[in-house]
Chains A and B, each alone.
Chain A
Amino acid sequence: MNVLLQHLPVLPVVVPLVTGAVMLLVRERRRRTHGALAITSFTIQLAAAVVLLLLTTDTVRDVWTEGIGVYRIGGWPAPFAIVLVVDRLAAMMVMLSATLGLAAILYSVAHWDRPALPFHALLQFLAMGVNGAFLTGDLFNLYVFFEVLLAASYGLVLRGLGSQRVKTGLNYIAINLASSSLFLIGVALIYGISGTLNMADLTQKVAALEPDDRTILEAGAAVLGVAFLVKAGSWPLNFWLPRTYAIALPPVAAIFAILSKVGIYAVIRVSSLTAGDNITTTILDEILFWVGLGTLLAGIVGMLSARHLSRFIAYSVVVSTGLVLGALGLGIETLIAPVLFYIGLSVVTTGTFFMLTGMAERARETIVARNAAELTAPAPFFVAYGVADPDPYGIDEEIGTAIPAAMAFLGLIFVFCVMLVAGLPPLPGFVAKFAILAAVLGSPEVAAAPAWLFASAVLLSGLATVITTSRIGIRLFWTSAARRVPRLRLLEAAPVALLLLAMFAATAAAPVVMEFLDATAASLQDPQAYVRAVLGGEP
């Protein structure tokens, strides 16, 4: 095995770390250097993610046994040292984060990265934390990577400053510091009772616990779960999320689309590995289901009340969290693969949508500026004669003006994003939601009441999406004053279009994707392969 292949699993963590550190040494004025470094770093991450993804599938059999790569840091045997584990789920999530990261960097290089210094370095550290959280096989290490990504996100939220941002940032930091304390308490309880932090080792220790000890372990897991749910943005722990996401700059918010999914990933991973006897699992599932349903409803209400596009998208993040948690809570095996598909889709959609706001809101800013200019100079003629001021941007001006290409592009992307979020055919959003609903309603394991409740909430969220986006879309694109066309740069528009194309490609290749996701779901149901890969085998 050559050296590069051997050290591949650690690359998504090390590359952004080194790049971020180097950036701190480069002068702030050299914005192009920063941009080039950032693009290079994310390209390497994406390449590494693609190779990792390939290695976890059955196409390359001889490198990793059972498609699970284990990277032992320092070469120590597993339960005593930290391991990075690449299984299908981890590889998929790293791939998502690298794709989104690359798109957001390309987008921000256009003009969002002024001043360059804290921004690019922080993005790198954020990517390091996200990738690390996906790859690590150790609970405490998970905490450390969470802190890395959160610390970077604190800086990114505050970017642009302004009292509104600082106020929201302060609340965001306070919430996350408090939930980090919960995270630590949960980890400590689990360690205190099982004597291990390695997730694979934990799986074995959990099975051998006495009933009394098990109660304490479950208490620890519950505390840990609350911390994860805060990060995932589930009701009633999510009041920080819409405000924070809505106020962050568009490229930052686009990257944040993956942050809430880190919390969901942690829930999936830990519950897959520590699932014990059936009774507790059922109770936990039930709690998860109701929390998910509450999140869905809270997200729907929030969506309907949203007046700005960014706030609406932030609430759509809440809705997607609710949908995923609720679906996981139903505990149907056939549901996991569609849910994973939905997670990937919603990350990319939300990221694209947030990037779109940056361009669309610019059109509005020019309108607002123009309106303000109009208001300050009232037409004396109309005032003197007491006649109502006719619309200065009347219909006659409309004649003969073709739809400008930039506006048409923005409108098209907007419509696509709406259809993806709402789940309208023929876009992949429909496929994902349909697969989820089909699995929910077609499964004999689930009682009718929760299944129908869940299905109607999901459909209601689609309706709320359409209602709200029609309102916002009319205001953004159809109000007559919107004729001043925002200037778009290719660098901004290209990543947005590419992300959408990638989504279409994923849908066109649906059989391959679903086969991969089915295998992922199967490995989550049976974590023994994971345990064997981490604990057995040569160091």
Chain B
Amino acid sequence: MELVYALATGVLTASGVWLLLRPRTFQVLLGLALLSYATNIFIFGMGRLTLHRPPVIRGDTPVDPSFYADPTPQALVLTAIVIAFATTALFLVVLLALRGLTGTDHVDGREPDA
């Protein structure tokens, strides 16, 4: 599971960075989105990968932390997802504004040859 998890994070990050370096604004947007997914998965992984362990302590089982998953990274991921979602939406608006104002979707606001 760890290998699959690590590979997924790595592939997401690599794709994100590659897209981030592309000249078209929409590619940059997708790159940023992929990077934020990779980050979220990474944060989640930092809480250790475990199976069959609830994050919320129940009253009827013994209160031993080793029976439970770490809830903090899950809370952090939730916050990070919301923030990344909002900022990506904002980026999308600016992207469209740039497209409307300059007539091109190049990140520099003009075509390299023109």
| Residues of chain A contacted by B50 (CB below 8 angstroms) | none
Q: Contact check, B91 vs A174: say whether CB atoms are below 8 A apart.
A: yes
By the criterion CB–CB under 8 Å, are A188 and B73 in contact? Answer: yes
Q: What are the residues of chain A within 8 A of B7 when measuring CB–CB?
A: none
Within 8 Å by CB of B94, from A158, A162, A197, lies A158
A181 with B87, Cβ < 8 A, contacts A140-B79, A171-B107, A192-B46 known = no
Chain B residues near A166: list those with CB within 8 A.
94, 97-98, 101-102, 109
**B72–A170 contact, CB under 8 A?**
no
Chain B contacts of A187 at CB under 8 A?
Answer: 43, 76
Tell me, in angstroms, the Cα distance from A181 to B38 when the chains sit together: 9
- Whether, in the assembled complex, A184 has its beta carbon less than 8 Å from a beta carbon of chain B, the answer is yes
Main secondary structure of the interface of A (DSSP, over half): helix
The answer to whether residues A167 and B42 also contact, given A140-B76, A151-B90, A174-B91 and a CB cut-off of 8 A, is: no
> Using a Cβ–Cβ cut-off of 8 Å, how many residues does chain B contribute to the interface with A?
35
* Contact A167 B108, beta carbon cutoff 8 Å: yes
The answer on a CB contact under 8 Å between A170 and B42 is no
B57 is an interface residue with CB less than 8 A from chain A: no
Using Cβ atoms and an 8 Å threshold, which residues of chain A touch B91? Answer: 170, 173-174, 177
**Residue with the highest number of chain A CB atoms closer than 10 Å, among B32, B46, B84:** B46
A185 interface hit (Cβ, 8 Å): yes
CA–CA, A169 to B91, complex, Å? 9
The complex places the Cα of A166 from the Cα of B28 at a distance, in Å, of: 15
Q: Is the CB–CB distance between B107 and A170 below 8 Å?
A: yes
* A188:B72 contact, CB within 8 angstroms: no
On whether the beta carbons of B102 and A163 are closer than 8 Å, the reply is: yes
Instruction: Indicate whether A498 reaches chain B with its CB closer than 8 angstroms.
Output: no
Partner of B95, one of A162, A170, A177, A178: A170
Tell me if B98 and A163 are in contact (CB < 8 A): yes
- We find that the number of chain A residues with CB closer than 8 angstroms to chain B is 30
Q: How far does the alpha carbon of A359 sit from the alpha carbon of B91 in the complex, in Å?
A: 32
Q: How far is the CB of B19 from chain A (nearest CB, A)?
A: 11
CA A151 – CA B107 in complex, angstroms?
20
B35 in contact (CB, < 8 A): yes
* Chain A nearest CB, measured from B31 CB (Å): 9
Q: Is B15 an interface residue (CB 8 A)?
A: no
A175-194 interface with B by 8 A CB criterion = 177-178, 180-181, 184-185, 187-189, 191-192
Q: Is A144 an interface residue (CB 8 A)?
A: yes
Of A154, A174, A181, the contact of B28 (CB 8 Å cutoff): A174
CB closest chain-B residue, reference A169: B94
- Find out whether the CB atom of B42 lies under 8 angstroms from the CB atom of A173: no
**CB neighbours of A162 from chain B (8 A):** 101
CB distance from B16 to the nearest CB of A (A): 8
8 Å CB contact of A170 from B25, B35, B86: B25
Complex: how many Å from CA A35 to CA B25? Answer: 36
Chain A residues with CB below 8 A from B28, complex form: 174
**Complex Cα gap A178–B38 (Å):** 12
Mark out the residues of chain B between 83 and 114 whose CB falls within 8 Å of any chain A CB in the assembled complex: 83-84, 86-88, 90-91, 94-95, 97-98, 101-102, 107-109
Which chain B positions have C-beta within 8 A of A147?
83, 87
Whether a CB of chain A sits under 8 angstroms from the CB of B23 is no
Instruction: With A167-B98, A174-B32, A178-B35 as known contacts, state yes or no: A185 contacts B108, CB within 8 Å.
Output: no
Chain A residues with Cβ below 8 Å from B73 are 188, 191
Residue from B95, B107, B109 whose CB has the most chain A CB atoms within 10 Å: B109
A173 interface neighbour in B35, B94, B102, Cβ under 8 Å: B94
B69 on the A face (CB < 8 A): no
A161 to B91, CA, bound (A): 15
Assess A192 versus B47: contact at CB under 8 Å? Given A170-B25, A170-B94, A173-B91. yes
A189 contacts across to B, CB distance below 8 A: 46
For B46, the chain A residues whose CB sits under 8 A away are: 188-189, 191-192
Q: Is A185 touching B39 in the complex (CB atoms < 8 A)? A: yes
A73 to B: closest C-beta gap in Å: 15
Give A311 Cβ to nearest chain B Cβ, in Å: 18
Q: Min CB distance, B81 to chain A, in Å? A: 11
Question: Which residues of chain B are near A151, meaning CB under 8 Å?
Answer: 86-87, 90
Contact A144 B42 (CB under 8 A): no
Q: Which residue of B lies closest to A196 (CB)?
A: B72
B residues with a Cβ closer than 8 A to A are: 20, 25, 28, 32, 35-36, 38-39, 42-43, 45-48, 72-73, 76, 79-80, 83-84, 86-88, 90-91, 94-95, 97-98, 101-102, 107-109
A-B pairs with lowest CB-CB distance, top 7: A192-B46, A167-B109, A163-B101, A188-B43, A188-B46, A181-B39, A184-B39
17 more A-B contacts (CB under 8 A) besides A140-B79, A177-B91? Answer: A150-B87, A151-B87, A154-B94, A158-B94, A166-B97, A170-B107, A174-B91, A174-B107, A177-B84, A177-B87, A177-B88, A180-B84, A181-B38, A187-B76, A188-B43, A188-B46, A189-B46
